[in-house]
Amino acid sequence: MRRPASTVPRAAVDLTDEVAAALGSGKPVVALETAIVSHGLPRPTNLVVAREVEAAVRAAGAVPATIAVLGGRPTIGLSDQQLEHMATAPGMIKLSDRDLPLAMAQGVDGATTVAATVTLAALAGIFVMATGGMGGVHRGARESWDISADLMALRREPVTVVAAGVKSVLDVAATLEQMETLGVPVVGYRTRNFPGFLISDSGHRLDWSVDDPQAVAEMIAAMRVLDPQHGGLLLANPVAVDLQLDPAWHGRILAGALAQSDKDEIRGKAVTPFLLSYMERETQGRSVQVNREVVLGNARLAAQVARAVAAARSLGGGGSAD
């Protein structure tokens, strides 16, 4: 059951004054996840990047809303102290969307994945988020059935996710097929090559691309005309070619990571963190540097998209995102 965001009881979430004011006055806001902070990036880089990403959103003219669950309260916008807590507290729980009500009922802290972040963002009335690479269909999913809840959440929630495609550890072709089945539009930003997270081109082609944030805002508006309640869009934003991980090197290390996770029988939500940390080790930290560039680039673009959406709405010409 879903109500228009304007009638959602805001008591369900804690907003910072800054985020509440921005939403109240129609200013652009960008949602940011915390699973990448607690599980996706190693310490102490994770906290540095989390702060840099917020700064990048601000510099591009939008308000960052980093999302987490704290003491069972969905929290939209974190203080620096809270951000540090997410980056350093041992045993932080990784929350997918299905975990949200359970974490709330138990009064615990948790870091939100893309699936959980878009769920809470939409509840608060935020319709653009940035991450590194989306979750998707894992290799070997035919046996393991491991398909990230990120995909279903993006089908359901009216949030545009800016990502460098999906994590390269995934079965990219199967993920693209799954998004087609679910009805999730995938649009390349200034490219028809679907990005490969730490590499600029996954080798898969896209049917659609846009060259500026306004064009994304127009697509979002058209989606709302057809169905005001449902569905987000994946805006695929590749890392610059001169910043990417060398593709051949990436391929070799990834093969090693997959073999090792198989051997160690890594399953469930441990898979993604395992593969990312394996790649960090084997690339002597280079994968983390590229991951940082990826997230920063996506944060900048997400801010531009949020601005274009806000401008379209204030003109009354872009349709309503809520």
The binding site for Mn ion (CB under 5 A) comprises 146
Name the residue nearer to Mn ion (CB basis): 146 or 157.
146
Is residue 283 within the footprint of ligand PSU (CB under 6 A)?
A: no
Q: Which of 46, 75, 131, 168 lies at the binding interface for ligand PSU (CB under 6 A)?
A: 131
Is residue 35 within the footprint of ligand PSU (CB under 6 A)?
A: yes
Phi, psi of 10 (to 5 degrees): -65, -15
Is residue 133 within the footprint of ligand PSU (CB under 6 A)?
A: yes
Name the residue nearer to ligand PSU (CB basis): 261 or 318.
261
Beta bridge pairs of residue 193? 205
**Nearest residue to ligand PSU, by Cβ distance, number only:** 40
Whole-number Å distance between alpha carbons of 64 and 67: 9
- Residue 36 interaction partner, one of ligand PSU, Mn ion, none, beta carbon < 5-8 Å per kind: ligand PSU
> Which alpha helices (H) appear in the chain, and where do they start and end?
17-24, 35, 45-59, 80-88, 100-106, 114-124, 141-144, 149-156, 172-182, 213-226, 247-263, 271-282, 286-315
Buried b (16+ CB within 10 A) or exposed e, 172-208: bebbbebbeeeebbbbbbebebbbbbbbbbbebebee
Is residue 40 within the footprint of ligand PSU (CB under 6 A)?
A: yes
Is residue 137 within the footprint of ligand PSU (CB under 6 A)?
A: no
Whole-number Å distance between alpha carbons of 28 and 57: 10
Stretch that binds ligand PSU, among 9-17, 28-36, 172-180, 235-243 (CB under 6 A): 28-36
Q: E strand or H helix at 160, and its extent?
A: strand 160-163
Question: Would residue 269 show up in a list of annotated catalytic residues for this protein?
Answer: no
Whole-number Å distance between alpha carbons of 279 and 281: 5
Q: Compute how many residues bind ligand PSU; rule: CB under 6 A.
A: 20
Whole-number Å distance between alpha carbons of 222 and 234: 15
Name the residue nearer to ligand PSU (CB basis): 34 or 304.
34
Tell me which amino acid residue 27 is: K
- Report in angstroms how near the CB of residue 261 gets to ligand PSU at its nearest: 12
Question: Would residue 265 show up in a list of annotated catalytic residues for this protein?
Answer: no
Is residue 46 within the footprint of ligand PSU (CB under 6 A)?
A: no
Residue in 33, 54, 218, 280 annotated catalytic: 33
Whole-number Å distance between alpha carbons of 118 and 193: 25
Stretch that binds ligand PSU, among 22-30, 72-80, 113-121, 185-193 (CB under 6 A): 113-121
Buried b (16+ CB within 10 A) or exposed e, 104-142: beeebbbbbbbbbbbbbbbbbbbbbbbbbbbbbbbbebe
- Report in angstroms how near the CB of residue 235 gets to ligand PSU at its nearest: 15
- Cβ atoms of 86 and 111 within 8 Å: the answer is yes
Name the residue nearer to Mn ion (CB basis): 135 or 232.
135
Residues 290-319 that bind ligand PSU (CB under 6 A): 291
Residue in 167, 218, 269, 280 annotated catalytic: 167
- Report in angstroms how near the CB of residue 146 gets to ligand PSU at its nearest: 7
Is residue 132 within the footprint of ligand PSU (CB under 6 A)?
A: yes
Place of tokens 């649009």: 187
Place of tokens 């709330």: 104
Is residue 188 within the footprint of ligand PSU (CB under 6 A)?
A: no
Q: Which of 85, 139, 156, 167 lies at the binding interface for ligand PSU (CB under 6 A)?
A: 167
Residues 6 or more apart whose Cβ sits within 8 Å of residue 75:
13, 14, 67, 68, 69, 82
Residues marked as catalytic: 33, 167
Which positions lie near ligand PSU, rule CB under 6 A? 33, 35-36, 39-40, 113-115, 131-133, 135, 148-150, 167, 269, 272, 276, 291
